[in-house]
Amino acid sequence: MDTNNINFGELWNAKNAKQPATKNLLVKIKKLKRSNRIGLILINIILVLTSIFFLSIWFYYEPELITTKIGIVLTILAMFVFVMAHNRSFKLFKNAKKTQSNSEYLKDLLSIKTKQQFLQTTMLNLYFILLSLGIGLYIYEYTEQMTSFWGIFAYVITSFWILFNWFYLRPKQIKKQRAELNEIINKFENIQSQLKQE
């Protein structure tokens, strides 16, 4: 087929867009850098504040039993795990080399997405286990001071809440994350298959 009678190059080059001033772009870059930094600082501040909150319970109420203390530590640990996982999965993308060829870049993106999937599921499980254990241990000292009826009642309610989290919220969250990631992974795989050498 003759492809020379339509000058695609000419049509292509006729398209232009007003170029934003360099100054504006540099302002944008600075803003982006700042907002990235603020995000990171904010997460860490929240983490430190919650830890301080739990530790102050430790010092203020002076729990006597070791279970309470372990409970507090586990709860803090759960939050650390969560934030760490969040930070790490964010960093993975920063490490993808943006100046490699498209096919290499796609390979990188796919492996990152798979890692992210693993990270999210594992960390979410770990988070829920640590949090449940932590709360379970923490309330022991205080339920012990109650009558056995109210003590058991408190544990039943707490267990119910934990089971609800574990069997309803957790799978729901994982399913949602999976669906999102799978959709992206499928699309990347589809693009990658376009690049198969013929």
Partner 1 sequence: MVFEDLYKMYWQKIFRLCMGYVNDHDLAQDMAQETFIIVWQEMPKFRNEANISTWIFRIASNNCLRQIEKQKRHPKVELPLNLKYVKDENIEPEIQFLYKCICELPETERLIISLELENIKQSEIANIVGLSEVNIRVKIHRIKEKLTQKFKENGHQ
Q: How far is the CB of 171 from partner 1 (least distance, A)?
A: 21
End-to-end alpha-carbon separation of the chain, Å?
21
Binding interface with partner 1 (CB under 8 A):
1-3, 5-6, 8-9, 11-20, 22, 25-26, 28-29, 32, 98-106, 109, 180, 183-184, 187-188, 191, 194-195, 197-198
Taking each helix axis from N to C end, the angle separating 22-61 and 66-95, rounded to the nearest 10 degrees, works out to: 170
CB of 22 to partner 1, least distance (A): 5
Residue 36's H or E segment, with its range, is helix 22-61
- Minimal distance, residue 154 CB to partner 1, in Å: 41
Residue 169 CB, shortest distance to partner 1, in Å, is 22
44-47 CB contacts, 8 Å cutoff, 24+ apart: 44/83, 47/79, 47/80, 47/83
**Identity of the residue, 102 or 125, whose beta carbon is nearer to partner 1 in the bound complex:** 102
CA dist 194 → 98, 102, 181, 189 (Å): 20, 11, 20, 9
| Nearest CB to partner 1, comparing residues 174 and 184 | 184
* Cβ distance to partner 1 smaller for residue 69 or 178: 178
